[in-house]
Amino acid sequence: MFKIFIVEDDNKIAEIILENLTRWGYEGVAAKDFSNIFEEFVKYNPNLVLLDINLPSFDGYYWCNKIRQISKVPIVFLSSRNTSMDIIMAVNMGGDDFITKPFSLDVLMAKINAVLRRTYSYTDNSADILEHNGAILNLKDYTLIFKEQKTELTKNELKILYLLIKNNGAIVSRDKIMRNLWEDESFVDDNTLTVNINRLRKKLKDMGLEDYIGTKKGQGYTVL
């Protein structure tokens, strides 16, 4: 099911949009803390964002720019501002479409359907970012972000961290990690895995994420 994040400070409009999304079989959530949109986006990890321009704290352009630093998720702007400059700004900031208020719900849903179809028709709709304890793992560009710091990961490091965060709360065995790394035909033995884990831990420590990966002796690893 596609998840849609609604960033709209008019509660009535947000409720109406949510009702229509549910009718169409989508899952939706409306933003609550308008000074914390980025964190809410990361936690919800939606497939599409509906973003108003006039917002408390920071405007929609600001939040679009923040989201674009970590994700290529489609963003559809909603606004009563409809000058050419507004539309150009929205597109230049990374917006995928622009809908002028007041809008027809039929037109809104048609545009949402079109953007989702265009974005996900040849790929699955799985998330391209994962978050755990404030660290954001970007699967698209092999990076990890924590408190404004960004570090690049190797393919193996990304796969290891992805597996651990995806199984948050569970212990992932060394065998399972090696099988996961083996899928891309790169030979990984026990010693190679240890080297990869140690390098990954060093990168995490340099970012201030010391002890992010815990070892369960004789069992495997987990994220803390």
How does residue 217 score in pLDDT terms, banded at 50, 70 and 90? confident
Domain ranges of the chain: 3-120, 129-223
How does residue 189 score in pLDDT terms, banded at 50, 70 and 90? low
Instruction: Report the alpha-carbon distance of residue 157 to residue 135 in Å, rounded.
Output: 15
pLDDT at 196 over 60: yes
Neighbours of 136 (CB within 10 A): 20
Q: For residue 121, what pLDDT is reported? A: 63
Question: Whose CA is closest to 213, among 178, 179, 163?
Answer: 163
Q: For residue 139, what pLDDT is reported? A: 82
pLDDT at 125 over 60: no
At the top level of CATH, the class of 3-120 is alpha beta
Q: For residue 188, what pLDDT is reported? A: 60
Residue 156 φ then ψ, to 5°: -65, -40
Q: Which residue has the higher pLDDT, 4 or 98?
A: 4
pLDDT at 28 over 80: yes
pLDDT at 44 over 50: yes
- pTM, entire model: 0.63
Question: Whose CA is closest to 164, among 212, 98, 115?
Answer: 212
Residue 6 φ then ψ, to 5°: -100, 115
Contact 49, 7 (CB under 8 A): yes
Average pLDDT, the chain: 86
Q: Which residue has the higher pLDDT, 156 or 3?
A: 3
Q: What is the pLDDT of residues 83-117, one digit of tens each?
A: 778 888 888 888 888 888 888 898 899 889 888 88
On whether the 129-223 domain is CATH 2.60.40.10, my answer is: no
Residue listed under structure tokens 């949109």: 37
- H helices present in 69-223, as ranges: 84-92, 105-120, 155-166, 174-182, 190-206
Instruction: Report the alpha-carbon distance of residue 75 to residue 10 in Å, rounded.
Output: 18
